[in-house]
Amino acid sequence: MTTATTHITVKSTSTPRAVIKAIPAIEQDEGVGARVRRSIGNMSVRNFTPFLMLDHFKVDPSAGFPDHPHRGQETITYVLKGNVDHEDFTGSKGTLGPGDLQFMTAGRGIVHAEMPRIDAEQDGSLSAVEGLQLWVDLPAKLKACEPRYRDLRAKEIPIVTPNDKVTVKVISGQSYGVDSVKDLAYTPVWMLDFTVLPGGSVEQKVPHGFNAFLYSMDGEVVVEGKKFPKFTNIFFDTEGDEIHVSVPESFHSPARFVIVAGEILNQEIVQRGPFVETSFERILKAFMDYRNFTNGFERAKGWASEIGKRMLF
């Protein structure tokens, strides 16, 4: 499937959502030798249903995320630069390249590894991997589902250009009348990647009953008359139909950001590390199941990924 590029102009008559909070994504250690900027899943924003964690990661070839478990959530991994190998105890394995995404449903349990692919560039050097990883809660009725994957390649993602200042990669959801590929995750999530040149503005519709945020990866943006720098996560109220963003003509560089929205789940969130349940009792059971190789973790017994062994050298 080739990438579709669409030019369309839409005039908005909807109500913009107000900003309720904005926090900087502070860099911290994670995994083995990796660095991430976490703006959901920390002390400032513990969770923002259905979202449990957002990491903007940069991983050197000597670092990574070797074998580790998950239960009760979905993860969305978006590779911005470099290549990432993945492997899990179901036998699934593969590589994500620049612009690729993986939607993983952990369900009742999975153990996997995510590691930078060690490929020398033409000059003989090794480059770091950069990307976003978003953790999304699963509805209680789906927490015991079987694990699954859905890879989305860069060439599959529709692109819409509402004007000569704005380009949108429609990863999941809809933007300016263009729909994404369907059936990517169980929990309904919209994920849109914007590049806006100075003098450009965005009026992005978001569904009712969805929480929404904007994470800025590069450049500066203006929302509600206030300027926000890169590496800022802006959280919006549930009232309103759209998110309005601008990059004034006076700014010297383009802005790149994602707008992400997800269906609000009216359920308890009890999280301990990589396990997400609806009660403390179920969390205890998750740890027991992982320790005893039961109820979804049977295949973890004796299993070790090949890519995770890179950390031994």
SS3 293: coil
Structure tokens at 267: 């359920």
Q: How do 101-105 and 148-152 pair as beta strands? A: antiparallel
Longest dimension (CA), the chain: 60
Exposed/middle/buried for 239, CB within 10 Å: 0-12, 13-18, 19+? exposed
Which residues are annotated binding-site positions for Fe cation?
68, 70, 112, 114
At 9, phi and psi to the nearest 5? -115, 130
Which residues are annotated binding-site positions?
68, 70, 112, 114
The DSSP call for residue 2 is: P
User: Rounded distance, CA 233 to CA 66, Å?
Assistant: 28
Closest C-alpha among 48, 275, 75 to residue 184: 75
Q: How far is CA 187 from CA 5, 132, 208, in A?
A: 27, 18, 15
Q: How do 178-179 and 174-175 pair as beta strands? A: antiparallel
